[in-house]
Amino acid sequence: MPAQLPPHLRRLEAEAIFIMREVVANFENPVMLYSIGKDSSVMLHLAMKAFHPAKPPFPLLHVDTTWKFREMIAFRDETVKRLGLDIKVHTNQEGKAAGINPFDHGSSNYTQVMKTEALKQALDAGGYDAAFGGARRDEEKSRAKERVFSFRSAHHGWDPKNQRPELWSLYNTRIRTGETIRVFPLSNWTELDIWQYIAAENIPIVPLYFAAERPVVARNGQLIMADDQRMRLLPGEKVEMRRVRFRTLGCYPLTAAVESDADTLDAIVEEMFLATTSERQGRLIDHDESGSMEKKKREGYF
Amino acid sequence: MAEIVALRPHDDAARPVPVETDKGILRFLTCGSVDDGKSTLIGRLLLDTKKLFDDQLASLEKDSRRFGTVGDDMDLALLVDGLEAEREQGITIDVAYRFFATEKRKFIVADTPGHEQYTRNMATGASTADLAVLLIDARKGILNQTRRHATIAAMLGIRHVVLAINKIDLVDYDRVVYDRIVAAFDADASHYGFASRVAIPISARHGDNVGERSESMPWYRGPTLLEHLEGIDLSVDVTASRPFRFPVQWVNRPDLTFRGYAGTIAAGTIRAGDDIVVARTGQQATVSRIVTYDGDVRSASADEAVTLTLDREIDLSRGDILATPAARPDVSDQFAAHLIWMADEAMLPGRPYLMKIGTRTVGAAITELKHKVEIETLKPLAAKTLALNDIGFANLSLAEPIAFDSYEDNRTTGAFILIDRFTNATVAAGMIRFGLSRATNIHRQALDVDKAARAGAKGQKPAVLWFTGLSGSGKSTIANLVEKKLHLMGRHTYLLDGDNVRHGLNRDLGFTDADRVENIRRVAETAKLFVDAGLIVLVSFISPFRAERQLARDLVAEGEFVEIFVDTPLEVAEARDVKGLYKKAREGKIKNFTGIDSPYEAPLTPDIRLDTSIGDAEAQADRIVDYLIERGYSAA
C-alpha cells in the first residue's frame, strides 16, 4: 500500500500520476519515451499506477542508437513482455548506414545524429502530439527551468525565454497542428527520491545499476565498460575486471562506471548519501562545454 | 505572531539521513528585489545542506572565474542561474526549481526574478509554494518591490513568510537596522494576513544564520533559516479537513465491466460508502470503491490520486466536480476574480478566452474590469485594461455554469488560467473571490455595428428623455409634441408612455412601492435597448422615486440620459384632473396615488426643469428640442 511510502514520495507519486492523466485526457496521440534507465523504470511504474485497472493508453518509444548496453536491451524486451505493453523501437537508419559511431565521429556529432535526429524522426513518424520524458529538474541547470508541460515548435525546438507560465497544476495543453508538448512527470524528483522510490516499490531495474565485476577500461579518469567487441582501445589501454556499477545508463562508450560495492538497493541509497559527484558526471556528452545541455535541448534533445 | 515548533539544532557535521519523522515536502519561493541575493541564498542553502557535488563545485569555480561578480570568491548565484543568457546578463530571467533535503524535510525551492517585469514568474513560483522567503537588503530596507512581492505572495495564498534580512554583514550586524526593517514590514502586515512571519538576519554570501548560527549576532536568538524551514508546521493549512472536492480528470473504462473516475482529491476525505453529489447537476450517488494499483483502499484524502467507482450510472465526465452533499461548491457562470495579466498583449474586456479551472476548460470573457490593484498599497485604481504584470479585479462570464470555490477556501477549485484562443498562450492567472448571481453584472459583448454606428446613420445621438412629474402635470402632452417635432426633423424616436406600457409589458404590476420600482426597472431596461438601437427614446412616467430614476440613468452611458422635470404643482394638477383620478383618489377609490397617499420625490438637479405655469405645451416642447440641438442629440 502507498501508506508505507514516506510522505514526500507519496506527494511526488500523486503529482506524477496527475500529470500523466492530464496528458491522456487532453492529447490524441501521446507516447512515452522509454530509455530503459532507472528514471524510465519509475516513470513506467507510475504509468501502470495512473491508469489501473487499464493499461497505460499509449505506446512506449525507445530510440535505439545500437550502442546501448546489451543488458539494457534484454531488460527492455523482458519488461514490455512482462507488462504486456506496446513498444516502438526506432533507429536512425541513415546514421546507421553511414556508420556513425561514438568513436569516430565524436560524442557531440554522434549524439546529434543517433539520438536527437533519431528522436525527431520517430516523433514525426508516429504523429505523436505529446511525449513523456523522464528528465528531472535536479539533473542539470537548464533542466531546472523547464516546464512540466514543455512546448515544442513544429520543428521540435525549445525556446527557453518564451515558455508558458505554469501555475498551480493548471497545465496549458493547447497546441496547434504540428506542435507538440514534452511532458516531464518526474520534474520534481531528485536522484535520491528515485532510488528511495525504487526501493520502496520494489521496481525492477537493469542489473548494471548494481555492483559487479565488469570489464572496464580506464580513460581520461573515467571507467568505460567494454560491453562488446566493438569497443576500441587506445594505445596502452587494457581491459581489466573491476567491481563497478552505473549511476546512469546510456550508450556504453559514453557512459562511465563508478567503482562500488553497492549490490543491493539499500546499499545504493546509502551510497547516494555519501556521493561527492553528481550522476551526470558519468555522462560524457555533458562535458563538451558549459551550457551544452541547453544547446542540445534547443535543438530537440530530450 | 510566528508559530515556531521546537527545533533540533542543525547537525552540520552529518550528512542528511532519512529518519522516521519525515515531514514531507516544503515548497517555498525566494523573492525580493534585484541584487538582494536570492540566487546566492539558494546556492548557500545547497552548499550548507551538502547538496553540491565535487564536479558541480569544480564547474562552479570555473564559471566563477568567467562570469563571477564577487572577486575571487565562488559566486554561489551561478549555481542556480541556469540559462546562458542569464549568466551573461547576471540576472535571473525565469523561475528555476531547486531541490535539497535535510534529515527532516525535502525542499523544493522556486527561485524567482526580482525585476518588476518578471512579476508573472514570481506569481508562477508562488502558486505552488507553502512559504515565501522575502529577501531584503539590510542596506536598503523595505522597497516597493518588497511590498509588491509580499502582496503577490499573499494574494496567491501563501500563508507563511520569512523576512530574510540579507547582507547584514554590510551593516556591521547591527540590531537597530534589523529592528527598523521588521517594524516597517509589520506596519503593512495587516494587508497581507500571513499566518506566520519570522524575521532572520542573514548573510547569504558568508552563511550567517542560513545553515549555521552566526557568531556575529549574539542579539539574535531566533532560529536559523534552515531550522525554521525544517520546523515550520504546515498542519494548519491542511486541506484534508475541508469539504470533499474531487475534480474528475479522466474516465477509466478499460472494458464493459469497469467504469471509474480518476482524479486527485482537491480537498477533504472520501470513504467507500460515502454519498457524493455532482456539483454542476446536483445528481447524487454513493462511492462503491476507491481503486488504486496497490488495491482498494477504505478512504483517501487531499492530494491523493485515486479512482472512484459509483453505485449507479450518472452523467459524469472530465471537468465535473464531485463534492460532499453537505457542503457543495458554488455553481455559476459568473464570478469576480483577481487576475494577474501575463501576456504582452493587453487584456480586452469582452474578448473570448478559454478558461482552464481544475480539469475543466470553458469559454470565458472578462465582462468588466472593476479596477486595477496598485500593488504596493493594494489601492484600487480606475483602469480600462490590464497590461503585462498588472493585477486587476474583474467580473468574468462563462459560456456555461461551472462549479467552483473561492480561492481562499480552495487553491485548486478556486484557481484558473486564461488561454488565448488563437495563440494558445497562457495570458492570465486568476483567483476566484466570489460568485455572482445570474443576470446581474452581465455586460454585452461589443458588436461591430454598435450604438454609435446605428445612431450616426440617422444624424442623431441616442438618448433617453425621461419625463417625470405628477399625474396630470402635462408630461404626456409635452412628450407627444416633442416626438412629433423630432419626427418632422427626420429623427428616429420612440415614446414609452406609462399608461400604455401598463397595458402590455407591465400589465402584471400594481401600484405598491415594489411594483412601481419594478415598473420603472422594466421601462428603463426597455429604454436602454432602444438607446442601443440608436433611437431617441421619450419616456413619460410619473416615476416618483429618485432611486429608480437614478437606476434608469445608470443603465445608459453618461450623457445619454436627460431628466426632464415637468414641474406642475399638485394643486394645479389636481385642479386639471384630466382623467378624474385625483377625485377617485381623494374618495379612497384608488390606493397609493402619487401626491395623495404616496410620495413624489421631486428631482433635485434635473437636466431640464419645465415650469408649466410659464408658456403653453408647444413652447415647452420647443424648449426641449432646442436643448437637444444645442447639445448635439439632433441635427438642426
Cβ separation A274–B291 shorter than 8 A: no
CB atoms under 10 Å from CB of A24, counted, come to 20
Helices B144-155, B119-127: inter-axial angle, 10-degree rounding: 40
Residue A300 gets the label, from left (phi > 0), alpha (psi -120 to 50) or beta, of left
| More confident call, B558 vs B53 | B558
Taking one residue from A and the other from B, the number of pairs with CB-CB distance under 8 angstroms is 178
In a domain, A144, yes or no: yes
How far lies A115's CA from each of A144, A300, B628, in Å? 22, 10, 78
| A74 within domain boundaries | yes
Q: Which residue of chain A comes nearest to B16, CA vs CA? A: A273
Average pLDDT over residues B71-83: 62
Say if A25 falls within a structural domain. yes
Distance from the Cα of A146 to chain B's closest Cα (Å) equals 8
Q: What is the pLDDT of residues A115-124, one digit of tens each?
A: 999 999 999 9
Could you give the CA distance from residue B545 to residue B513 in angstroms, rounded to a whole number? 9
Residue pointed to by grid coordinates 519561493: B29
A34 and A179 co-located in one domain? yes
A167 min Cα distance to partner chain B (Å): 5
For residue A200, being part of any structural domain is answered with no
Query: Within 10 A of B503 (CB to CB), how many other CB atoms are there?
Result: 9
Is the pLDDT confidence value at B220 over 50? yes
Say whether B82 and A164 touch across the interface (CB within 8 A).
Answer: no
A2 pLDDT exceeds 50?
Answer: no
B598 assigned to active site: no
Q: pLDDT, tens digit, for every residue of A70-108? A: 999 999 999 999 999 999 999 999 999 999 999 999 888
pLDDT of residue B9: 32
Candidates B426, B427, B431, B432, partner chain A, best to mutate (most A CBs within 10 A): B426
What are the residues whose beta carbons fall under 8 Å from the beta carbon of B94, sequence distance 6 or more?
Answer: A145, A160, A161, A163, B83, B86, B113, B118, B121
Assigned CATH topology for domain B245-323: Elongation Factor Tu (Ef-tu); domain 3 (2.40.30)
| B25-237 and B245-323: identical CATH topology | no
A271 touches B at CB < 8 Å: no
- Does the annotation flag B37 for ligand binding? yes
- Of A139-148, B234-243, B253-262, the poorest mean pLDDT is in B234-243
ipTM score over 0.90, yes or no: yes
pLDDT in the model for residue B355: 96
Both A267 and A165 in a single domain? no
- The answer on A229 and A81 residing in a single domain is no
Q: Which of A172, A284, A295 to mutate to test the interface with B (most CBs of B within 10 A)?
A: A172
- pLDDT greater than 50 at residue B17: no
Inspect the interface and report whether the beta carbons of B80 and A144 lie closer than 8 Å. Answer: yes
Pairwise CA distance, residues B6 & A286, whole Å:
44
- Range(s) of the domain holding residue A139: 2-194+291-298
Residue A190 belongs to some domain of the structure: yes
Model confidence pLDDT, tens digit, residues B525-581 = 899 999 988 899 999 988 888 877 887 888 888 889 999 999 999 988 898 888 888
Burial label for A78, CB within 10 Å (0-12, 13-18, 19+), is exposed
**What's B179's DSSP letter?**
H
Q: Which positions 65-94 of A are in contact with B (Cβ < 8 Å)?
A: none
pLDDT exceeds cutoff 60 at A221: yes
Residue spans of the domains in chain B: they are: 25-237, 245-323, 332-435, 451-630
Residue A180 touches chain B, beta carbons under 8 Å: no
Higher pLDDT pick, B599 / B464: B464
DSSP of chain A: -GGGS-HHHHHHHHHHHHHHHHHHHH-SSEEEE--SSHHHHHHHHHHHHHTTTSPPSS-EEEE--S-B-HHHHHHHHHHHHHHT--EEEE--HHHHHTT--TTTSHHHHHHIIIIIIHHHHHHHHHT-SEEE----GGG-TTGGG--SEEEE-TT----GGGPPP--TT-------TT-EEEE-TTTT--HHHHHHHHHHHT----GGGS-EEEEEEEETTEEEE--STT--PPTT---EEEEEE-SS-SBGGGBEEEE----SHHHHHHHHHH--S-GGGGBGGGGSSTTHHHHHHHTT--
Our count of domains for chain A comes to 2
Question: Do A266 and A155 have their domain in common?
Answer: no
B338-388 pLDDT per residue, tens? 999 999 888 877 777 899 999 999 989 898 899 998 877 778 898 888 998
Q: How many CB atoms lie within 10 A of CB A81?
A: 10
Residues linked to residue B362 through DSSP beta bridges, in sequence order:
B355
- Report residue B272's pLDDT band, with 50, 70 and 90 as the boundaries: very high
For residues A220 and A173, state if they share a domain. no
Q: Which CATH architecture has domain B332-435?
A: Beta Barrel (2.40)
Tell me the residue type at A210. Answer: F
Do A71 and A156 lie in one domain? The reply is yes
- Residue written as cell 454519498? B275
Q: Sort strands B463-468 and B536-540 into parallel, antiparallel or unpaired.
A: parallel
- Tell me which chain A residues have a C-beta less than 8 angstroms from the C-beta of B128: 167-169
Domain spanning B25-237, CATH class: alpha beta
B293 vs A49, A145, A193: nearest CB:
A49
Per the CB < 8 Å rule, is B357 touching A170? yes
* Arch. (CATH architecture) of B451-630: 3-Layer(aba) Sandwich (3.40)
Q: Are residues A158 and A247 in the same domain?
A: no
Whether A266 maps to a domain, the answer reads yes
Phi, psi dihedral angles at B495 (to 5 degrees): -110, 125
Torsion A19-A282-A289-A235 (CA) sign:
negative
- Do A11 and A47 fall within a single domain? yes
pLDDT digits (tens, 9 = 90+) for B228-244: 999 998 876 667 778 99
